[in-house]
Structure 1
Amino acid sequence: MILCIDCGNTRLKWACYAASGEMLRSGNLAHDALGELGALAHHLPEPERILLANVAGAQIGQQIRAALGAWASCLEEVHSTAQAGGVTNLYENPSRLGVDRWCALIGARSLVRNACLVVMAGTATTIDLLDAEGCFLGGCILPGMGAMRAALATGTAHLPLADGRLVSMPRNTHDAISSGILHAQLGAIERMYATLPCPSGNDKTCLISGGYADGLGGALVIPARLVENLPLLGLKALGLPADPGIAH
């Protein structure tokens, strides 16, 4: 059994996988509840490996290690590299790519082999290009939907923290803000999709994951598939590679 932990800016997600790849259990915790990780030892056998992708900083990393107690001895913190899990990292400095994006790309590659746009819709929205050969070509980062909404509410004198709908012709402020934010996100995703190289005759797709994925997926005009927690799938692929030749 392996335990995979994806610690983002606001929450920690975890999943346990059998050697066969079957998910045994999963859950999530807010940062102020990380101590509850220790309870896993009462419900699960000790894992052979624990893989951690952490973008929340060193202090949170220390809290995770402390919460794991005796299990911390098999904790491995994953970092972005030039190549792993069937993905080649073409970032100018591969180690500077956020590990959550890196694991999401590896997770995507474990699911599809055609050209793929990998979208993580969370505190930030990341939109990354993965070609059919498994090369990460680059990507962009923009504020997530919640961050955009909060920026308008806190940075202006009269705009509210909007709770509106996507409508074609907004006629109230809440709908105008919510529609504008969603159009901005959708437009960025669809423009990046248009730049994704695709060999003649082959399909390309878009995988979307993250807390705001549901709100985006159904509104896109490109082929899109919602996937629950791509970074965890990437960690699983690194911990349980299907192909013995894949580095991890």
Structure 2
Amino acid sequence: MIICIDSGNSRIKWGAHDGNAWCEQGSVTHAGIGELAELCLRWPQPARAMLANVAGAVVGESLRQVLAPWAEVLREVKAGANQAGITNLYKNPAQLGVDRWCALVGARQLGSTPRLVVMAGTATTIDSLDAAGNFLGGLILPGLETMRRALFQGTAALPFADGVHMAYPRATADAIVTGCVEAQVGAIERAFARLAGRDACCILSGGHAEVLSGFLVIPHLVAHNLPLEGLLRLAPES
């Protein structure tokens, strides 16, 4: 059994893979990190436990404490210069967020054509991968909810909008939601235009992937928990 854990900014996602398929997947909040101890009881001797953490050092230490029974097989992943058929062209490869790296590795397993890899969560990341497996670079912008919250917290008159997307918004809440969606989709489609070849595809993952999917006009698919797929692929190399 291989256990994969993706500790993001908002939630901690996990999956258990038996070598053929995912047996189970789930998630916990940061406040519920202690619940992960149950995994150590359910699978006391996994072949490998893979961890990707972007939630900071304090969360990382808490994870290592909770997962202490797996200490001998626990591997904390960092972005590398060349792994799983991907060459990292970041100026400093180690500075690339491990969640983005794992998502790129996961996306590569879905095919070898150029791909735009979008992680739509607390932040939205938009990363370009060419057909040869070169990570060309990427964008980071606030996620959908982060955008709405920034307007609410940074202005005196704008609400935390609970509106709907419209072609021509005529209410403030709708104008905010539409603006946030258009900003996300516009960034994705501009990045895709730079990358696009005949076989290029956009892959969406993260909590807001389904929302953004409904507005994109480029070829795309939704792949849930893409970083877990990357962690699984990296397990033999760890």
The answer, yes or no, to whether TM exceeds 0.5 is: yes
How many aligned positions are there? 238
Overall identity of the aligned pairs, in %: 53
1:88 pairs with 2:84 = no
Distance 1:175 1:149 in 2: 11
Question: For structure 1, which runs of at least 5 residues remain unmatched after alignment?
Answer: 241-246
Q: In structure 1, which of residues 210, 214, 221 is the aligned counterpart of residue 210 of structure 2?
A: 214
1:69 Cα shift?
3.0
The one-letter code sitting in structure 2 at the alignment partner of 1:164 is G
The one-letter code sitting in structure 1 at the alignment partner of 2:228 is L
* TM-score, reference length from structure 2: 0.97
**Contact 1:131–1:197 (CA<8 Å) still a contact in 2?**
no
1:224 corresponds to which residue? Answer: 220
2:6 corresponds to which residue? Answer: 6
2:52 corresponds to which residue? Answer: 53
The one-letter code sitting in structure 2 at the alignment partner of 1:40 is L
1:25 Cα shift?
1.1
Question: For structure 2, which runs of at least 5 residues remain unmatched after alignment?
Answer: none
Distance 1:88 1:81 in 2: 8
1:152 pairs with 2:151 = yes
**Contact 1:117–1:127 (CA<8 Å) still a contact in 2?**
yes
1:59 Cα shift?
1.2
1:74 Cα shift?
1.3
Distance 1:46 1:37 in 2: 15
The correspondence of residues 84-123 of structure 1 with structure 2, limited to 5 A, is: 84-123=83-122
* TM-score, reference length from structure 1: 0.93
**Contact 1:107–1:231 (CA<8 Å) still a contact in 2?**
yes
Distance 1:96 1:208 in 2: 22
1:238 Cα shift?
0.9
**Contact 1:66–1:72 (CA<8 Å) still a contact in 2?**
no
1:124 pairs with 2:123 = yes
**Contact 2:44–2:70 (CA<8 Å) still a contact in 1?**
no
- 1:81 match: secondary structure: coil
Distance 1:188 1:129 in 2: 12
Residue by residue over 1:7-45, the C-alpha shift from the partner in whole angstroms, topping out at 9 and shown as x without a partner, is: 00111000011123x101111010011111111133234
Distance 1:25 1:163 in 2: 33
**Contact 2:40–2:69 (CA<8 Å) still a contact in 1?**
no
Distance 2:42 2:203 in 1: 32
Distance 1:83 1:42 in 2: 35
- 1:73 match: secondary structure: coil
**Contact 1:4–1:50 (CA<8 Å) still a contact in 2?**
yes
